[in-house]
Structure 1
Amino acid sequence: MMNINSSLQKTPIAVIGLSAMFADAKNVEEFWTNIIQAKDSIKEVPADRWLIEDYYDEDMFAPDKTYCKVGGFLPKIDFNPMEFGLPPNILEVTDASQLLGLVAARDAFEDAGYGRKSEKFTAELKAKTGVLLGVGGGQKLITPLIARLQYPIWERALRASGIAENDIPNIVDKMKKAYVGWNENSFPGLLGNVISGRITNRFDLGGINSVVDAACAASLSAIKMALSELVEGRCDMMLTGGVDTDNSPFMYMSFSKTPAFSKSGKITPFADDADGMLIGEGLGMLVLKRLEDAERDGDNIYAVIKGVGTSSDGRFKSVYAPRPSGQAMAMNRTYEDAGYGPETV
């Protein structure tokens, strides 16, 4: 099985830092405890996200309704804008993914021993530290900002309903106030690519900053790209992982009308009776270095990456239907890349 052409066999990569925020877990320790206790963190949509009575209908074909009302939801996470040098007045027009991304990055760097007060995190190392994250196509803040721009439609609907012309501006103004307003910070605040950009800006990093969207494989795709930065010597340390904080009605409607959500409201991977997926908010990040460098610098090493494999499903039933043979192909390529056979695991 040994593949002498594998870059990762020649230059294995060490995982030296971890951070996590998921349903019922504010950090890695809580997440791990939930796993070993087999805790089910799938719950009904909390009222501070959206009201179930507004959007839910058990009929999966009901127009403009979702037949799913459960998911994974982040607990309340403390965020101090001053810690990251952000003025409080931009928070309303900055997506939660960008703000929590800063917290996850801080926690991962601190766990790796490269916190803000660390003498090891030199200017030279920062200049060659990059950020690559898996991020979905749209962020939650986009929805209210776009909704606010629909006011011409509201005006026409009110006019067609016989509302007095003099009353229409006041009604529309009240409706606008239900949504976040546009200002100079709105555009950067809604962009997914600014999740990585804000991290490199606030932590003064000089390596690559980019996000990748590969749907459910986005985080792993980001990790693969981060490995390349290290193997090819463009960066000496990488922050990588994934960010998704959008459990908005838009996302529930999207997966309901596909339809991809589990009708039973349960996810059972690899089971014969599995009937669909659910969605969850979460952030997970890793700090990576070349193994040789991590050992030299006395870093704590959680794991070593020696192989990575990718694949696509080609022409199959649909663009989003999983293909078991394609998944097996990716796994087999990973074993080959690492120089180990599946029978060794």
Structure 2
Amino acid sequence: MNPGDRPDRDHVVISGIAVEAPGGIDTPSSFWSALADSRELIGPFPRDRGWPIDDLLSLARLDGWGKVCDAGGFLDGAAAFDPAFFGLAPREAIAMDPQQRVGMRVAWKALENSGINPGAIDGEDAGCFIGASPMEYGPRAAEANEHSGYRAVGLAQLGVAGRISHSLGLVGPSMCVDSACASSLSALHLATASVRSGECEWALAGAVCVMGSPLAFYEFSKNNALSTDGHCRSYADDTDGTLWGEGAVVVLIERESRARRLGHRIYGRVLATATNHNGKGRPILVPRAHAQERLIRKTVEMAGIDPAAVGMIEGHGTATRAGDVAELTALQNTYGCAGADPLLGSVKSNAGHAQAAAGMLGLIKLLLAGERGYIPPSLFADNPTTKVDWDRSTLRLATKMQPWEPANGVRYGAVSSFGAGGSNAHAIIAMPVREESDNF
């Protein structure tokens, strides 16, 4: 037994999960099926959001701009919402950023997954920590229109966590976290710390990304950092840019003793989470291998485990040349030199880069892999980048569905997310083998 995973410690655990992902995915089981079947969940731009599709697809004609493909990982149910169910007026619901609507829906499902009745927790000392970034939505707020009066909260990032806490009646800490693509694991970090310190009895942690406008496509077209073929080829040699996506994940965080007392399923122990920043020097968008390596080493130390115990790494894997090489270098210098054979993948290869929600989609993938005892393949992994020397470490890409053997009844995994603003986040999770739950 690893010291950080000793049985007498009252760990913070994940005991409820819910997910919505591209390709019509709206349950953990359907998400796992897509991963296990190596399905790509990419589709064309949505035609019901008022986006200037023709303009987007012709950006490459402008001097210095890159190609935009008619492709991305988009939520099918982004516009689906029952305002009366959540006690909202239709006009208020329309004025709300769709990230708030999707977040409320997924939070409800996470509670149901844990066995909690969402309608019977009014007044509970529970927190809500949601990762989200600003997304343009609707007409300008600084003008008189039929949505005026609802926009102050309807457009604010704080509205995602605030709406969830308000609709459920939770009275613990409630906040939205924005550290760009590191937002979701940063939210997990804060939620875990809040429960561990006793600030709240339990908490919802999650992230949501719904693109109200195609802003991200314009920005990365100008930076020539978008995929030119409509695929997100994480860690592949023929990668040339990322592909944007959407998603939403919420998990329930509580003490293990409470979860066991209430009969909640334990998906995993959160052994350690940590965040840091790249610091100054290079441009803010450029990732730093040394900062990521420093973060991983710190997280492993906090977890109190041998890094060789980590069998699966769910990486960031943006499919950008600089990003993938920096990340692989940090992973090779840490887990890849620990004396084991960890397998690496990225859910972005299936569903695109879900930005603020990216790390949480990776976390759900890790938890489901631990529960089922298999590491699913990462798409495009059969053509690994030649920009790193793979022979200098034991780190390898997950190219096929592979059994994941536990150690003393536990599977250990890690997940990363790195933000465009320079923030980095990493988490180490221990997952029980249900047949051997007495050892956990």
Give yes or no for contact 2:92–2:147 (8 Å, CA) kept in 1.
no
Residue 204 of structure 2 aligns to a residue in which SS? Answer: strand
Pairwise CA distance, 1:71: 0.9
1:215 maps to 180
Distance 1:22 1:135 in 2: 15
Distance 2:306 2:270 in 1: 15
1:21 maps to 20
Residue-by-residue CA offset, 1:196-236 (whole Å, 9 max, x unaligned) = 10111110000011011111110000000001101110111
Residue 284 of structure 1 aligns to a residue in which SS? Answer: strand
Structure with greater strand share of residues: 2
Distance 2:117 2:63 in 1: 50
Give yes or no for contact 2:131–2:206 (8 Å, CA) kept in 1.
yes
Distance 1:102 1:233 in 2: 25
Seen in structure 2, the aligned counterparts of structure 1 residues 26 and 105 have a Cα distance that, compared at 3 Å, is same
2:340 maps to none
1:57 maps to 58
Output aligned runs, 1:77-96, within 5 Å: 78-96=80-98
2:136 equivalent to 1:144? no
**Percent of aligned pairs with the same amino acid:** 29
2:185 equivalent to 1:188? no
2:328 maps to none
Give yes or no for contact 1:238–1:289 (8 Å, CA) kept in 2.
yes
Aligned AA (1:69): D
2:411 maps to none
2:299 equivalent to 1:302? no
Pairwise CA distance, 1:331: 1.9
Residue-by-residue CA offset, 1:52-87 (whole Å, 9 max, x unaligned) = 213222627458996343211101364211111111
- Looking at CA atoms only, which structure, 1 or 2, has the larger radius of gyration? 1
Residue 127 of structure 1 aligns to a residue in which SS? Answer: coil
Aligned AA (1:277): T
Residue 251 of structure 2 aligns to a residue in which SS? Answer: strand
Residue 218 of structure 2 aligns to a residue in which SS? Answer: helix
Stretches of structure 2 lacking an aligned partner (at least 5 in a row) = 311-440
Distance 2:171 2:54 in 1: 47
Output aligned runs, 1:253-272, within 5 Å: 253-272=218-237
1:69 maps to 70
Distance 1:321 1:11 in 2: 39
Seen in structure 2, the aligned counterparts of structure 1 residues 117 and 61 have a Cα distance that, compared at 3 Å, is same
Distance 1:99 1:58 in 2: 31
Give yes or no for contact 2:206–2:249 (8 Å, CA) kept in 1.
yes
Candidates 105, 108, 112, aligned match of 1:106:
108
Aligned AA (1:227): T
Aligned AA (2:127): G
Aligned AA (1:56): L
Distance 1:54 1:277 in 2: 20
My pick for the range that moved more, 70-79 or 276-285, is 70-79
Residue 263 of structure 1 aligns to a residue in which SS? Answer: coil
- 1 or 2 for the larger relative contact order (CA 8 Å, sep ≥6)? 1
Give yes or no for contact 1:247–1:279 (8 Å, CA) kept in 2.
no
Residue 34 of structure 2 aligns to a residue in which SS? Answer: helix
Distance 1:202 1:117 in 2: 9
Aligned AA (1:85): G
Pairwise CA distance, 1:13: 1.0
2:30 equivalent to 1:30? yes
2:220 equivalent to 1:225? no
Aligned AA (1:114): I
Pairwise CA distance, 1:117: 5.1
1:245 maps to 210
Seen in structure 2, the aligned counterparts of structure 1 residues 66 and 48 have a Cα distance that, compared at 3 Å, is farther
User: How many pairs are equivalent?
Assistant: 307
Pairwise CA distance, 1:324: 2.3
Aligned AA (2:166): N
1:130 maps to 127
Residue-by-residue CA offset, 1:153-177 (whole Å, 9 max, x unaligned) = xxxxxxxxxxxxxxxxxxxxxxx9x
Distance 1:258 1:274 in 2: 15
2:324 maps to none
CA RMSD after TM alignment = 2.8
Distance 1:116 1:309 in 2: 30
Distance 1:63 1:86 in 2: 46
Stretches of structure 1 lacking an aligned partner (at least 5 in a row) = 150-175
Residue 307 of structure 1 aligns to a residue in which SS? Answer: strand
Distance 1:62 1:270 in 2: 29
Distance 2:94 2:286 in 1: 37
Aligned AA (1:302): Y
Aligned AA (1:87): A
Pairwise CA distance, 1:16: 0.5
2:244 equivalent to 1:279? yes
1:115 maps to 117
Distance 1:181 1:61 in 2: 36
TM-score, normalised relative to structure 1: 0.81
Distance 2:66 2:146 in 1: 27
Seen in structure 2, the aligned counterparts of structure 1 residues 83 and 55 have a Cα distance that, compared at 3 Å, is same
1:159 maps to none
Residue 259 of structure 2 aligns to a residue in which SS? Answer: helix
Distance 2:292 2:208 in 1: 23
Pairwise CA distance, 1:28: 1.9
1:161 maps to none
